[in-house]
Amino acid sequence: MTITNNASHNDSLSPGRVLRGLLIAGLLFFCSGFAALVYEALWFRQIGFVFGNTVLAASTVLTAFMAGLAMGAHCFGRWASRIVRPIRAFGYLEVGVGLFALVLPLFLKGIMVVYRFAYQNVSDSLLLLTPLRFILSILLLLVPTFLMGGSLPVLCRALAADKERFGSRLGWLYGINTAGAVAGVLAASYLFLPAFGLKRANWIAVAVNVSVGIAAIVWSRLSRITVEASVTPVAEKNRQIPARARWLLLAVAASGFLSLALEVVWFRALILVFGSTTYSFASMLSMFLLGIALGSMLLSWISDRLKNPITIFAAAEILIAVLMVWSMFNFIGKQDFLLQYFIDHGLTWANLIRAKFLITASILFVPACLFGVAFTAAARALREEVESSSRTVGEIYTFNTVGAVLGSFLGGFVLLPLLGMENAILLLSLLAAVTGALLLFLARIRPAGRLVLALPALAVVAVILIAPPHWDKRRLAIGPYFSPWKYIQDGKISLDDSAGKDRLLVYEEGAVTTVSVLQTADENMSYITDGKVEADTSAASMMLQRLCGHLPMMLHSGPK
């Protein structure tokens, strides 16, 4: 079977063979996404042993990881037009990722030696260590993440070369890859790490990657899938992206920024409801990724029939703003939902996990779907402006990823410390509404239609400026997940009564955690981080604190 850039040639292929090819590609790309997120979880854990597990260290590693993805997407988006056998190239990329992941622990030992030497002999200042962490992370992760970033443009070169089918096939591939990422997050957090440990979990991910690569190479040879090289004078002439497309790419970067910034801020808010644990972050991340996957795949069914995909992109951003503001008005009630779930189903660890998924879904699932819709719609719109499908995918993926890196960093280290969770979400909602409204000017629709679509954005702006939501800080400080039985009396929730009796002395939202101090009616004070009581001045608790102070002296061989 030969696939070319000629649409009429593709039309000659039987629907059965095309469907079979898409299903095979979907299965392989699902497994690719699965392995990638298992790697991410493992590498973050392993690199944490070197750089520490602070938020700043983790953010530095995440930035390096996503920078590699962006670079790979950008470069392979440009190179893919010269690849004659893209399925085989995809197989080589997957094998390369797997082999590098196999030897990455060895490179990690070298990174540890360099970092330890710098820390002990040069300086322990963050001004030096932070850029050093970034450089070492880039050196460690650049090769595998660069190869990961190239997989989508290369696959789209093989399966989505035609404009007539570009949107549906990109949406399918992007969605199924993200669905694989969801499975990888859940498997790594709930199964691989607890049951097998880091080393064996890494072997499993390597086996999946290499198997995907070998299967793709064999499939390419058996099916003889080739694509005509498109390095022609016409292609050279169209290398410059049109001005309209450049504006569209800036909007894609803004969407990527908003998605990760909102994810970071909402994650910080949600841990005040159900606690900060590995399982909490796995629940939140998997639900967010699942929404993106579903949104992308849903739009793929109709994307190629859309006359104006920019309108869909704009509408998605505006709806995200509306839902974010709506969720803020209902957020405090999620604590009551958690307690009511315990009343109805019992106070068990399994029910706590289920409640985490339900609460996260109620806030983030639909907006995440809309981010998936926005990505696919934007790619479909850009494909009308750019000659090459692989170039389109590469640029879209690059700008979206760069925006996501900025969103993750600025959301955690700038917006949260400066504005707090409430104001950060309001500002990001405002930016989403403005982004959607500005996109309407790129859309080729009538002024009346543009005005109708802009009305929800104007409503968001009006609510934010006139009647913004306000969260009860005492409720946020309590953290009912920590001692839920204290807030359930005779089968009924008594959270408001308990919060009303306490006096909030301190409440501060920082880059790392939310710290508060509560004083009860009997004058006892509690020091709380992320809703969890760390210490208090009650008689029983003070006995515990003094014991903790004595234990080191009792265990030390020569205390002074």
Write out pLDDT tens, residues 67-99.
888 898 888 888 877 888 888 999 999 999 999
pLDDT of residue 498: 72
pLDDT of residue 239: 60
pLDDT of residue 329: 93
- Which residue has tokens 């939140």? 284
Candidates 146, 155, 304, 151; CA nearest to 227 is 155
Distance CA 478, CA 344 (A): 22
Distance CA 196, CA 276 (A): 23
pLDDT of residue 225: 59
CA geometry: angle at 194 spanning 143 and 346, to 5°?
A: 130
User: How far, CA to CA in Å, does 67 sit from each of 95, 148, 381, 401, 548?
Assistant: 21, 11, 25, 8, 44
Phi first, then psi: give them for residue 89, nearest 5 degrees: -60, -40
- Which residue has tokens 């597990």? 53
CA geometry: angle at 176 spanning 249 and 105, to 5°?
A: 90
pLDDT of residue 253: 94
Q: Which region, left, alpha or beta, applies to residue 4 given φ > 0 means left and ψ of -120 to 50 means alpha? A: beta
Per-residue pLDDT of the chain (560 residues; tens, 9 = 90+): 334 444 333 434 456 666 777 788 889 999 999 999 999 888 888 887 877 766 666 777 778 888 888 898 888 888 877 888 888 999 999 999 999 999 988 888 888 888 888 877 777 776 777 788 888 888 888 899 999 998 988 888 878 777 777 878 888 888 999 999 999 989 988 888 888 888 899 999 999 999 999 999 998 888 765 555 554 444 434 466 777 788 889 999 999 999 999 998 998 899 889 888 888 888 888 999 999 999 998 888 887 777 788 999 999 999 999 999 999 999 998 999 999 999 998 888 889 999 999 999 999 999 999 999 999 999 888 888 777 778 888 889 899 999 998 998 888 888 888 898 999 999 999 999 999 999 988 877 778 778 888 899 999 999 999 999 989 888 888 888 888 888 888 778 877 777 767 788 898 887 778 899 988 877 888 888 888 888 888 877 788 778 888 888 888 888 77
CA dihedral 535, 419, 330, 486 (to 10 degrees): 10
- Which residue has tokens 């389109």? 392
CA dihedral 381, 427, 70, 393 (to 10 degrees): -10
Residue 146: CB atoms within 10 A of its CB come to 23
- The pTM assigned to this predicted structure is 0.86
Distance CA 102, CA 32 (A): 15
Candidates 468, 152, 447; CA nearest to 329 is 468
DSSP output for 334-394: HHHHHHHHHHHH-S-HHHHHHHHHHHHIIIIIHHHHHHHHHHHHHHHHHHTT-S-HHHHHH
Q: 381-423: per-residue pLDDT in tens?
A: 888 877 777 888 888 989 999 999 899 888 888 888 889 899 9
pLDDT of residue 146: 92
The length of the chain is 560
pLDDT of residue 4: 42
pLDDT of residue 15: 60
Residue 110: CB atoms within 10 A of its CB come to 12
> Tokens in use for 34?
């699965």
pLDDT of residue 509: 86
DSSP output for 484-553: GGGGEETTEE-HHHHHHHSEEEEEEE-SS-EEEEEE-TTS-EEEEETTEEEEE-SHHHHHHHHHHHHHHH
> Tokens in use for 327?
């969720």
pLDDT of residue 10: 41
Distance CA 81, CA 206 (A): 29
Beta strand 488-489 pairing with 514-519: unpaired
pLDDT of residue 541: 78
